Amino acid sequence: MRLKNSIIFAILYSIVGLLIGVDIINKMNKSYHLFIIVLPIAFYITSIILWKYVVDKQILILKNEPKQSKIIFTGFLIGIISHPISFLLMLILSNIIYWIPFINSYDLINEPSSFEDILFAPFIGTFFSLIMYGWITIPSAIIIAIFISHLNNINKNKNQNI
């Protein structure tokens, strides 16, 4: 059984999220330790959803574009949109951890996030996150997308030769 391109992309991009999470843990205090869990999950979810709706399905905007252009554009979008998804997931997870009684969450979160924080913090966090890590996430997503595109072309050529 062959893996779908979206799953291959999501796994490779999740590794990027894991490496960024490790970097954040090494540079920041204990309250940032959830990033090593949240980033790979958020990067995976973002990759699967955007790949499904931009590359696999026909969207009106990109309907006539070649598949390779769609794949590269999707990599660019995933590199950007994974940031706010990461912060939103982080806030939701930290609220869940705060309310679980048998976890000592005082090192991670002092109080649960309000509804306004959950709505606005992803945008503020995304701004700074794109400045600090956007130069890694966007190019790596595009490079992984190009790799998947070439892998797709190699498999297509192999199948035509058979």
Q: List phi, psi (to 5°) of 64.
A: -95, 0
Task: Copy the structure tokens of residue 125.
Answer: 């966090």
* pLDDT attached to residue 84: 94
Region 145-157: what's the mean pLDDT?
81
Position 1 scores a pLDDT of 46
Is pLDDT at 3 greater than 80 in this prediction? no
Which residue do the tokens 């959830």 mark? Answer: 34
Q: What is the mean pLDDT of the chain?
A: 83
